[in-house]
Structure 1
Amino acid sequence: MALDSLVSNFFWSNSDGSGKIHWAAWKNYRNLKTREVGTGHYIDVFKDPWVPAAKQFRIPVNNDISVNQDMVVADLVQERSWNLQPINRKIDKLYLDLISKIPLTSSPRADKLMWAPARDGTYSVKAGYRAKTSAIEGRTGVTRASPSKKVDTRIWRRCASNPVCPVCGDETESLEHLFLLCNWVKVAWFGYSMGIYISPRNIKNLGFWLEEFQLLNDSDFDYSKAYVASMLWAIWKLRCRMTFEQVEPSPSEAMEMTNRAMKEYWEVNSLFPKAPTFAEPEASYKWRKLQSHTLKLNCDDAFCKKNGKGGIGIVCRDSEGLFIKGWAEQVSAYSAFHTEMLAICKAVQLVEEWGMQSVIIEMDCQDLYKAVTQCSFRHCPWSLHGLLIEITDPVQNRSLVSFSLIPREGNSTADRLAALA
């Protein structure tokens, strides 16, 4: 009995806040279920969740406008294309646009129930747990810190006997407050030559701030790196002096220490002859000669997240690498991955239309390559499963059609063509 009790207490807990196994009511997560459009005969337009990018995957109904509440999605499909005329003036244009982006397969498939938080739409205990913890964090407004952040903060708290900042006496002295947000520190950062203004709204993590600073100042990387390191060192020295000698830190003293450190750095650095640097050339993609009569289709995309518009580009070359023909087209999509899939889908269609026999379809998206070569939904968002089938089904019975993954620089022509679409 004692052993059973120990095992039970390890796996189960009476406290919902502890990291144990708990029962959860399925009804609490029903808003995370959605439907993937197949034939559309079993999906109600206004009652069921089925629009991937819509809030709770549903279409809001305007009570002032009479609509057919029993309308099904199949009523909006004509010859495997969207015909939104029945609801054209009854819902917002935004939702019409979202519906038009849902891919429809050329051959009807059964409607499926999907678990929205999972990439492939398949429910798992792991996906359910993530949804539960996300809901708790969103409800309480608590965001979990990264492991490194928690470890750094814990070490600093151990070193400090009083968590309140002894300089300003207003805030808890975290790493971010110590090095960036304390009043005297902000004056020091702003008063030096680079004039950095520290805004509390933009500071969440010291490490993230350092990364962003280096990215923004990449053109003068050596100087900015030395400057930040010197200023952080000066702030730390003055803060330690206050702890052990009870001397108030001064922004002007921090700037003077930073200036001396920078000067010493450049003087010492100039004493040593700089070793010649040999920048490694970017990996260049060389054309590989194909077997005779084999053609190659390079596919790429361009996508604008703001308006959901994109372009696809396809370049056809012969076995010698000579250009034969190309294709460019504007498309609407949910994401860059969606646009890339539309490019590959169009390439498969062009193989049939152009009467090609032996063809290699090339792409530079690794996840998409895995999805089409392994016929795997695991590497593809659930909302695009139908489009994946449109790509893989036509080539399964054609042994002379294959897919290839290439570096991005090997796809530059198709990329430029997509950008011009």
Structure 2
Amino acid sequence: MEVATVDCMIDEGTRTWNAEMVNEIFAPQEAEEIKNIPLAREATEESLYWPWEHDGRFSCKSGYRFLKEDEDVLQLRDRCKEDNEDVVHAVWSCKELDGVWGMNNIWSLRNQQRFTSFSKLMAWVFQHQRNPDLFAFSIWSIWHQRNQVRTQQAYCPLNQLSQLVHDRYAEYKAFKPPPFPSRQKRRAWWKSPDQDIFKINFDGVIYAEEKCSGLGVIIRNQEGLVIASMSTRVPQQLQPIEIEALVASRALEFAREVGISEAVLEGDSLLVIKALETKDAKLAPFYLLIQDSIKLSSSFSKLSYSYSKREGNLVAHSVA
């Protein structure tokens, strides 16, 4: 096994993982992660991709963000110089910030409640209605002041920051415009295809407790009558984008099996629909699954693609 490669763990006949071999070689958690990786119908050459963009292409913007996040992790220890520093500590629980948060009683929970991430802290603020607007002003002011100190710019001392937050918040409330009257949102409905054209709707569902994914396909004619439908499950807990890419190819395969050659393929994943239309996402991690659909599309005499919001794709979602 010293010179073995990944393809030896793939059953080429079914294009699925050899579960028995994977379980024997890897630890249970690693084996589950490997078996959840979707496989394309045909073997393809390996390629490198940039994991911080949906299309797999490097961009200066995402590269800068990646480097800045890495830099911020290294430079967060600006105030109290603690070793185990994180964002929550830098803007919330640091003892140096007691004078900022302690000026208002609604933040008295700082010494009682522990949060493992900033997203959990923010969720708690919203859930318990602890003035999210004031919280946002406070967090921004603390972070901005920290950056000013770090870049050696003029900054507001911490003992004056609470008053600065209060003044800015009061100014915000004074100029805050009244809310616009609510408008009834236009619902997205399923639209019938052109005459003699069939519409193929597809969708995928994650069944986390059962560690599997559901695939649903429904084919209708111009009158909206159901011509055929398909529902199946795969024993893999895939990522949402992977499920959508996989079920798109299954939908085309199913349509050909029932004898349809002219159709519109419609789903509620804009990324998948764009990838199918442009065929320009070759570096995206899900592109191997898209490639299956592209190859299947050549068997149709007429095929177009359509994006629909979730409300217009509810039947396929229910089937899945």
* Shorter-chain TM-score tier: 0.5 to 0.7
Q: CA deviation at 1:83?
A: 2.4
Q: Which residue of 1 aligns with 2:212?
A: 309
Aligned residue identity for 1:310: S
The one-letter amino acid paired with 2:5 is V
Q: TM-score normalized by structure 2? A: 0.66
The whole-number CA distance in structure 2 between the counterparts of 1:88 and 1:279 is 55
The answer to whether the 8 A contact 1:348-1:391 is kept is yes
Q: Which residue of 1 aligns with 2:106?
A: 189
Contact 1:105 1:390 in 2 (8 A): yes
What do residues 194-252 of structure 1 show as CA deviations (whole Å, max 9, x unaligned)?
A: xx8444634988x99677534x268xxxxx869989xx9xxxxxxxxxx99xxxxxxxx
Cross-structure match for 1:417: 319
Pairing 1:367-382 to 2, within 5 Å after superposition: 367-377=271-281, 381-382=284-285
Alignment length (residue pairs): 266
1:137, 1:143 within 8 Å by CA — same for their partners in 2?
no
CA deviation digits over 1:46-68, x for unaligned, max 9?
xxxxxxxxxxxxxxxxxxxxxx1
Q: Provide the C-alpha distance between the structure 2 equivalents of 1:312 and 1:304, rounded to a whole number of angstroms.
A: 11
- Pick aligned residue for 2:232 from 317, 321, 329: 329
- TM superposition shift of 1:321: 0.7
Q: Does 1:348 align with 2:260?
A: no
1:8-407 → structure 2 map (5 Å cutoff): 68-77=1-10, 78-79=12-13, 80-122=15-57, 130-138=65-73, 140=74, 142=76, 171-173=95-97, 177=98, 180=101, 182=102, 185=104, 188-189=105-106, 197-198=109-110, 199=112, 201-202=114-115, 213-214=125-126, 216=127, 279-304=182-207, 309-331=212-234, 332-377=236-281, 381-382=284-285, 384-396=286-298, 398-407=300-309
Q: How far apart, CA to CA, are the structure 2 residues paired with 1:137 and 1:341?
A: 35
Q: Percent of counterpart pairs with the same letter?
A: 19
- 1: CA distance, partners of 2:133 / 2:69: 39
Q: Check 1:285–1:108 CA distance in 2 against 1; reply closer, same or farther (3 A cut).
A: same
Amino acid at match of 1:142: L
| Unpaired runs of at least 5, structure 2 | 79-93, 139-158, 161-179
C-alpha RMSD of the superposition: 4.4
TM-aligned CA distance change 1:92 to 1:201, over 3 Å: same
Paired AA for residue 345 in structure 1:
S
Compared CA separation, residues 90 and 134, structure 1 to 2 (3 A) = same
State the TM-score, normalizing by the size of structure 1. 0.52
The answer (yes or no) to whether the contact 1:299–1:347 under 8 Å persists in 2 is yes
Q: Is the 8 A contact 2:50 2:57 kept in 1?
A: yes
Secondary structure of 2:33 counterpart: helix
Check whether the contact 2:207–2:237 (CA below 8 A) recurs between aligned residues.
no
Change (3 A) 1:143 1:315: farther
Cα 1:172–1:136 change in 2 (3 A) is: closer
Deviation per CA, 1:289-310: give whole Å up to 9, x if none.
3323321121122225677532
CA pair 111-228 structure 1, distance change in 2 beyond 3 A: closer
CA drift of 1:386 comes to 1.0
Unmatched tracts of structure 1, length 5 or more:
1-67, 145-169, 191-195, 219-223, 233-242, 245-276
Tell me, yes or no, if the aligned pair for 2:202 and 2:216 is still in contact at 8 Å.
Answer: yes
Structure 2 Cα separation of the partners of residues 172 and 284 of structure 1: 50
Structure showing greater Rg = 1
Q: Is the 8 A contact 1:308 1:335 kept in 2?
A: no
